[in-house]
Structure 1
Amino acid sequence: MNGEDLQHLLHVQHDAVHLHQAVLHGLLQCAWGRQPLLLPADQQAMLAGLLVRWVAQATVDSEEQAVALLQARSGLRRLAEASGLDLASLLSQALLPMPGCDLASLTQNSRYKLALLADAALLSPAALLEWGRQEPVLAMLFVIQALDVQTIERSAWAAVNRLIEALPDLPLADLPLSVLNPLQQACFRLSYLDSPQRYLAKQKLVEQSRHVLALHDRLWTQCPVPPPRPRPLLLVVGEGLRDGHALFRFFAEPIRDLRKHFHVVLLSDHSVNAGTASELADEIIYFASSDDPVQAWCRQIGDLAPDIIFYPGIGMSFATFTLSQQRLAPLQVASIGCPSSSCSPVIDATLLFEGLQAPAGLPLAIRYDRHRLRPARPGAGAEQVQASRAGQACPCIGINAMAIKLNDDFLSTVETILQRYQQPCRLRFMPNVDGVELQSLMRRLLSRFPGAEVLPSMGHQQYMNELAQCDLVLQSFPYGGANTTTDALDLHIPVVALGSPWLSGQTDWLLLHDRGVSGLCTWSREEYIELAMKLLQDGKFASEVRQQLQQAQQPDARSLQGDVSASDALWAFWQQHAGESV
């Protein structure tokens, strides 16, 4: 948003209809999200006031209006935060006539807006559960929307955790199909939130999703019987399986090997080109375009009648989220992709590499030997950057975790490290966001870390060059890294990680173990801090670690003999269970 956009809003501010249309258009067209907020502080305050007026005047008289507010909420949060007003304050000013007022005192229109534009700080668990008993649709909408939150501040972290604890006790609601998109986003975010109840909460949202699908006759519970074939047909339902994407780097090797035993068909979007597809599969089909996509995709798969379906990851895309809740093949298997557990009752088994401890409730584990990621292969630019930094006294600490992984618990640990170090250093965040989202994030990070660098999203090669400036990487927790850890290790940069029993907290240890530096993964916060301090203060120790990383080589999946591959493991599973659903 720029001054011209603001002037237009000021011009129509006294016309409720035109103000509503102008703000909604800006939020839904994403024009205000692609670029940073180009307004001085006084005009940002004017914008915040206009957003308050817009929410106060908005009406929800139809499903179309409700869907529009559902879709606008994420952009509203980021724009409000970028202008210096958190969403809870904005909604309080617009909807709550006085502090501490209860839901019963609000008009129905205000309750709808509170549900559609929600912030977890506005309701206690008791109030949420009571709302669920009175108006289950609005209470469930509130939870779904409120999970779109950045838990950088302790207050936001505490509020969303209270909401997560209450969510499993909410009743299911008869929601429209249009809510499936926000449900997918809510389930995706839940896996990154630092709550011990997050998977119980996710199970409830998946149950809610299946309820919506069944309510609108979009839930498949019986799949076609596969015909006899020379080789069983394995369908890979892919998200992000294009060259350069993090999921492609993570899953390309195991998927490529599936052709050893299966006829592999890849179902994906048109971002996957023919060359990439031919490496991964015997043939590729693309998601059908349709006004009723879930039904169309299920029919596509039904026409194939696959013997087995494999989901490398579930949750980053609407397609994998909705399809993984259907019974579309006799056997359905998922990997630990992002997020780490689908919580779907029709996923029969989980493909899990050795070294990972399966948590309780995970479907049957199919084990294969150590997973190998494709290396980042940094170019000459990264080598030049590192050479130019040799001998510099001021260390550079990198945090190359995407924005959703940044939480108060992790950032408080970073603060402790900086306080104890008490020497000049550079702190670089690489959260992989841009536009208003970057501006919102930067405002909040710089309030905690004055002078820190917060870099925008960029191409992978430029990112590797920027990462090469770092002497140390602090990996996020409780959701650790995979590709981001590998990126640093490929540049021979020490990575400090914190392990945990969660699947998302175990991968770093395995990656570090493969490079011969498993000691860089600690198992308590104090050990994490002490290790970071040692790498910052003990030059000899840090040099020895970098030398170890230079000498270490990631095992090549194609050169190992005797290992059980993902393909062998899935083949054994299919042979054992062919003709039956697990």
Structure 2
Amino acid sequence: METQKDNVIDDLLDRLERAVFQRQTKQGVQLLLELLNTMSTQRSPFGILPPTSPPEERRAAYTRIAAMISALICSPDFLIDLAQIEFLAGRKPMLEAIFELSGYEGPFHLLRYNGQRNADGSVMLRANQVFVLSLFYSLDALPPELIQGVLKLPPDQLLPLMVGWFTAPFVHHARGEENRSILIEHCSRIETANPTQGIVQAMTSAWMHCSYADHPRKHDIKRSLNEVWRRLNKLGGLKSRPSERRLVDKPTLLICAERMNAGHAMHRSYAAGLKQLKERFRTICMATAGFITPDTHELFDEVSILESGIPLKEIGARIVRLEPDIIYYPSLGMSEWTQMTSNQRFAPIQLMTLGHPAPAMMDTMDYALVQAGHGEASGEFGKKVIERQAWGQFAPYSESINFAIEAKPFEDGRLHIAVNSSLMKLSPRFLAMCERMETEAKRPLHFHFFASAAGVMYDRIRQVFERRFRYFTLEPSRQYQAFLNVLARCDLALAAFPFGNTNSTVDTCLLGIPTVAYYANEVLSIGDRDVMRLVGLPSWLVADSDESYFETAMKLIHDDEARKSIVDQLKATDVKAKLFQAPRPEDEHEFVDAMDWIYRNHEALQASSQHLLKVGEPIPA
């Protein structure tokens, strides 16, 4: 039975086909944008069709859409304005997936139709053709002749293409990683672009998703995007207006929280520390409606809710009225407004922690406050790094969650492996590693990917896995307890790399599932190691190279006793106490101590020649 969502998509597709066949190109472009918007907002856990739909029906649906897009852009009267292009840039992963899921299996026919074939077999395109065709190519499919043409485009055209590619949540082929690296190495070319507000959504995703690239300078693109953010801030009337530096008994600390919903990874990671701050600071949490829940208000003295659609200028005015002595960003990368405000100065001291564990690369962020042991990755950060005295602790998802699950094992003769990492983290290197395990293992393996994929991306990832793995399940998004019930049935877990896990490894430890992790001396890969240290797991489970990761995984795949010993150790450990309680009495106030130390010693910290400084230790000149 069709759902209302299916009817809406079918109706829009019918109207799009009618417009295209009647050569009403302008109306067709508008209908295409409306169709893409509907497909992105009305997401299903199982793609755009019901889960029982046969593969040929899904393929036919995507082929209809791809055919209409092809007819539009190959029409002699096809025109598209900058605002429409910026809209498409924000939905570029969907555009790419539509073609790859269709009977065309990619947008290659567009290149053949529009390009002029040279005698040597190469294709020549005009600049406007390069620009339009690139909207439909994924990094995995992008041919060398097209990416070289892209790099010659003017900044105003390169910007929407580049941020569109960096919004892509899933790069699965080595060629895609190579193309992403080429863009990183040429990212400075976008810095002089003249953006409009229509690019904001794509820029927000690109700023965050660059962290999932497999390149040593992946964060360089943030410096370039920050230049564009500042230009957008000026257009929106947002400008720096810091309050005066002052020393008072109870300073005002504004917490700009991108996410503070109970159970969200940000709440699980920082609730314990945030609760401490009320002791010595007047704490105000600013968050967008829908991204903070009433049960988390108790962490703060006050809460300031930003309503949907609030003008950027008004956000700045509200911050100024609060006169903050410190602005603290628990994370940066998930919201548009925080990326814009953090590129300005509204307080004499501005700092961040690593909720999305990556540097901000902006001069307006005075400090990155990291937990003990993370200072070893301080070279990644452009500004000063302050290392705390403790690892920190986690807050439970909910007190009502049951982790003592008597999971029914699978009885199919296969070893079931959980990959409890979101789709952005499934890098080409990691997926190739999983394929190698399947090929070389002496027993059949069944991978369970908990990738948080939905809608078109669910269909896209499923197609990729169907071609790469013999036995796999792409698990749909579920409520947390239902998700744990499925996860608990797995024999082993693999944390993806180079961007690792944190809360996902908390879950596997609580469930008693042996986990293999990767430590690569960059801050976004340290979380798994920290969690496994906290619960006392042996260090050999954390690899420091691709080969050692493979060997560790293969040991647990083949050695039932080794795997059982990890399970027994976790069951004999009070994992909840290790994760959710302060390891030492002094850690009950360690986070507020760190924040107060920064506030009282700001001038000395700024004057110091040292890049990495440790809370409570003498501050060198």
User: What TM-score comes out, normalization by structure 1 length?
Assistant: 0.90
- Report if the CA contact (8 A) 1:28-1:71 is conserved: no
Question: 1:530 Cα deviation (Å)?
Answer: 1.2
Aligned to 1:325: 343
Alignment partner, residue 37 of structure 2: 28
Instruction: Kindly state the Cα deviation for residue 13 of structure 1 after the two structures are TM-superposed.
Output: 2.6
Q: What corresponds to 1:248 in structure 2?
A: 267
After superposition, what is the alpha-carbon deviation per residue over 1:476-504, rounded to whole angstroms, capped at 9, x for unaligned? 00000001111111101011011101101
Q: Which whole-Å deviations, capped at 9, do the CAs of 1:230-277 have from their partners, x for residues lacking one? A: 510101100121112121111111111111211110001222566433
Q: Is 1:235–2:254 an aligned residue pair?
A: yes
Residue identity opposite 2:152 in structure 1: E
> Residues of 1 paired with 2:397 and 2:296: CA distance?
20
TM-fit CA distance, 1:393: 5.0
SS for the counterpart of 2:354 is coil
Taking the aligned partners of 2:307 and 2:606, their CA distance within structure 1 comes to 27
| Structure-2 change in CA distance of 1:360 and 1:87 (3 Å) | farther
Q: For the residues of structure 2 that align with 1:138 and 1:287, how far apart are their CA atoms?
A: 32
Alignment of 1:56-95 (within 5 A): 56-57=74-75, 59-60=78-79, 62-83=81-102, 85=104, 88-89=107-108, 92=111, 95=114
Whole-angstrom CA distance in 2 between matches of 1:544 and 1:390 = 20
Map of 1:275-424 to 2, 5 A cutoff? 275-290=294-309, 293-356=311-374, 357-362=376-381, 363-368=383-388, 369-376=390-397, 383-386=404-407, 388-389=408-409, 394-424=414-444
Moved more, 544-553 or 313-322: 544-553
Give 1:279 deviation, angstroms.
Answer: 2.4
| Residue 158 of structure 2 is aligned to residue 139 of structure 1 | yes
The equivalent of 1:566 in structure 2 is: 591
Provide the C-alpha distance between the structure 1 equivalents of 2:303 and 2:543, rounded to a whole number of angstroms: 42
Query: In the aligned structure 2, how far is the partner of 1:467 from the partner of 1:540?
Result: 21
Give the secondary-structure state (helix, strand or coil) at the position aligned to 1:365: strand
Match of 1:52 in 2: 70
> Shift in Å at residue 375 of structure 1?
3.7
Please, which of 478, 482, 488 is the counterpart of residue 502 of structure 2? 482
Q: Report sequence identity in percent.
A: 23
Q: Is the 8 A contact 1:118 1:145 kept in 2?
A: no
Q: Is the 8 A contact 1:473 1:496 kept in 2?
A: yes
| In structure 2, C-alpha distance between the alignment counterparts of 1:562 and 1:71, rounded to whole Å | 46
Corresponding residue for residue 451 of structure 2? 431
**Does 2:471 match 1:471?**
no
CA contact (8 A) 1:277 1:284 kept: no
| Other structure's SS at 1:326 match | coil
2:107 and 2:136 in contact (8 A); partners too: no
289 and 432 in structure 1: CA distance in 2 versus 1, 3 angstrom threshold: closer
| Structure 2 residues not aligned, in runs of 5+ | 1-5, 50-56, 608-621
Write the deviation string for residues 275-302 of structure 1: whole angstroms up to 9, x where unpaired.
Answer: 43332101101114446x3212111101
Which residue is 1:10 aligned to?
17
2:320 maps to a residue whose letter is: G
Cα RMSD between the aligned structures? 2.9
Q: Would the alpha carbon gap of residues 142 and 66 (structure 1) be closer, same or farther in structure 2, given more than 3 Å must change?
A: closer
What residue identity is the alignment partner of 1:419?
Answer: T
Distance apart, 1:339 and its partner CA: 4.6
* Correspondence for 1:258: 277
The 3-state SS of whatever aligns with 1:370 is: coil
Out of 476, 479, 485, which is 1:459 matched to? 479
Q: Does 1:576 align with 2:576?
A: no
Q: How does 1:143-292 map to 2 (within 5 A)?
A: 143-149=162-168, 150-168=170-188, 171-214=191-234, 216=235, 218-225=237-244, 230-271=249-290, 275-290=294-309
**CA distance in 2 between partners of 1:232 and 1:90 (Å):** 62
Q: For the Cα contact (< 8 Å) 2:261–2:293, is it kept in 1?
A: no
1:84 positional shift: 5.1
Larger CA deviation: 449-458 vs 479-488: 449-458
CA contact (8 A) 1:378 1:490 kept: no
Q: CA deviation at 1:4?
A: 5.7
Offset of 1:97 from its aligned partner?
5.1
Cα deviation, 1:142-197, whole Å, max 9, x if unaligned, reads 21112233211222222222222222355521222332321111111101111122
Matched, 1:551 2:572: yes
Contact 2:410–2:489 (CA under 8 A) maintained in structure 1: no
Aligned length: 573
How far apart, in 2, do the equivalents of 1:548 and 1:309 lie? 42
Matches of 2:481 and 2:490 in 1, distance apart? 15
Between stretches 169-178 and 467-476, larger displacement belongs to 169-178
Which AA in structure 2 matches 1:224? S
Runs of 5+ in structure 1 lacking a partner?
none
Q: 1:32 to 1:205 in 2, by over 3 A?
A: closer
* Residue identity in the other structure for 1:211: R
**Counterparts of 2:583 and 2:529, CA distance in 1:** 23
Q: Deviations over 1:305-341 (max 9, x none)?
A: 1000110000011122111111011100100121511
Mapped partners of 1:202, 1:64: distance in 2: 23
Inter-CA distance 382–447: structure 2 relative to 1 (3 Å threshold): farther
Give secondary structure in 1 for the equivalent of 2:167: coil
1:524 aligned to which of 545, 548, 553: 545
**Whole-Å separation in 2 of the counterparts to 1:532 and 1:76:** 36
> TM-score normalised to the size of structure 2?
0.85
Residues in 1 aligned to 2:116 and 2:357: alpha-carbon distance in whole angstroms: 39
Residue 194 of structure 1: SS of its match in structure 2?
coil
Residue 510 (1) aligns with residue 530 (2): yes
Deviation at 1:384, TM superposition (A): 4.3
Equivalent residue number for residue 19 of structure 1: 28
Choose 560-569 or 452-461, whichever is displaced more: 560-569
Bigger Cα displacement from structure 2, 168-177 vs 538-547: 168-177
Could you tell me how far 1:392 is from its partner in structure 2?
A: 7.8
> Is contact 2:380-2:522 (8 Å) kept?
no
- Closer, same or farther: CA 19–211 of 1 in aligned 2, 3 Å: closer
Structure 1 10/274 Cα, relative in aligned 2: closer, same or farther at 3 Å?
A: closer
